[in-house]
Amino acid sequence: MNKRILVFNIEISGVNKYLFSQLKKRGWDINIIDVPIPKICMFLSFIYSFSPNIFQWERNIKEKIGIFLKLPWSFIQRSRFCQKKIKELNGNFDIILQISGTFAPTLKYKNLKIPYVTFNDYTMALASKYPDATTPYFNIKRWLNLEGELYRNARFVFVASENTKKSMILDYGVPSQKVITLRYGLPLNITPKLDKTYDKKIILFVGRSKSFKQKGGFVLLKAFEKILEEIKDAELIIVGVDKDFLKIKQPSVKPLGYIKNRDIINELYDNASVFVMPSFSEAFGLVFLEAMSHKLPCIGTNIDAIPEIIENDVTGFLVPPGDVDLLSEKIITLLKNPELCKKMGLLGYKKLNEEFSWEKFGEELDLYLKKCID
């Protein structure tokens, strides 16, 4: 008999397809329903984002949508959509898997007999500690109440890190035995360069324009000014961020914008000597796994899930968010010491292969889903 699972889907960190692949591999019959953005949310985003500059208007819309989607009425609208789909399917599934905590299928059906579980890489309680363009500044208490009810009613709450697990327990009152950590694997098939060297003074940052501030990009730019005082031939390569967004005249800083070609990105990783992303908040940090797959030492901040990925003084360095002086000091240490880069890069590669596996993720997810329906 096939195991039937209904998935209410919202894309998170680009890893959904790997999660679904693991379920299919283990014999699950998956019905994936993408939960849409409420029409009123789209309408209001267009109105409140207007700019005579079409490109600025487009950027504003993305920012406003992020805000509206994290307001309680959006949570409720999306929940109603899910409830309608549950009614239409009339029990033609054994379990519900919800991706993210931005709606609740049981908001109306308090006595829903079919078990449901959630998968989350972050919580609003964690996100609200560092307000950004997509974090609501009002009615956060109402949202947290809705989100908490969702998690407490679920059979299991799967999370991507111990940091998010801690939030589920302390911020939402979810019993610890219901919160299961399933670490991501590397979402790419990467063959590391066998003859990698670390004598080039190249620092690599990979992100996006809209999250550049939150990822500590401007902190890195300030640190790089200090680095150039000691290492004149140092280079900072920034992938995924538009040149027009940064408006930088320093020739040693090279914003390359969005790059679709994976071979080009892999070459940039291979040519770099250190990867840096000094985030102010970080749900997980998949890009660190990418860097580790290319045997790069990594520098990140000592917040959220990053210390679960980067082992301080072993596979790289951890610094406090916003600490320009310490960040520049650690980068200089690595750029001046290729052997240390190599040692940390190899240890990071080893850690990646031992601790981050989609196969292990799939085995544990399958085990707990079967517990719900057996």
Q: Residue 138: what pLDDT?
A: 59
281: CB partners within 8 A, 6+ apart: 126, 127, 129, 130, 132, 214, 303, 304
Residue 319 has what DSSP assignment? E
For 332, the 3-state DSSP assignment is helix
Amino acid identity of residue 46, one-letter, is F
Domains of the chain: 3-185+357-373 (3.40.50.2000), 202-355 (3.40.50.2000)
pLDDT at res. 133: 47
d(CA 192, CA 336): 23
User: Given this model, what pLDDT does residue 248 score?
Assistant: 82
* The pLDDT of residue 253: 95
Q: Tokens representing 212? A: 């550049």
Q: Is 158 exposed, middle or buried (0-12, 13-18, 19+ CB in 10 A)?
A: buried
What is the spatial order of strands in the sheet that 28-34 belongs to?
28-34, 3-9, 95-99, 116-120, 156-159, 179-181
Joined together, the tokens standing for residue 373 give 């329906």
**CA 277/CA 246 separation, integer angstroms:** 16
Each of the 374 residues of the chain gets a pLDDT tens digit; together they read 579 999 999 988 778 999 999 999 999 999 999 999 888 877 777 777 767 777 666 766 677 777 778 888 899 999 999 999 998 998 889 999 999 999 998 776 556 778 999 999 999 999 888 765 455 555 788 999 999 999 999 999 999 999 999 999 999 999 999 999 999 998 677 777 778 999 999 999 999 888 899 999 999 999 999 999 999 999 999 999 888 788 788 899 999 989 989 899 999 999 999 999 999 999 999 999 999 999 999 999 999 999 999 999 999 999 999 999 999 999 999 999 999 999 999 999 999 999 999 999 999 999 999 999 87
* Amino acid present at 78: R
Q: What is the pLDDT of residue 270?
A: 95
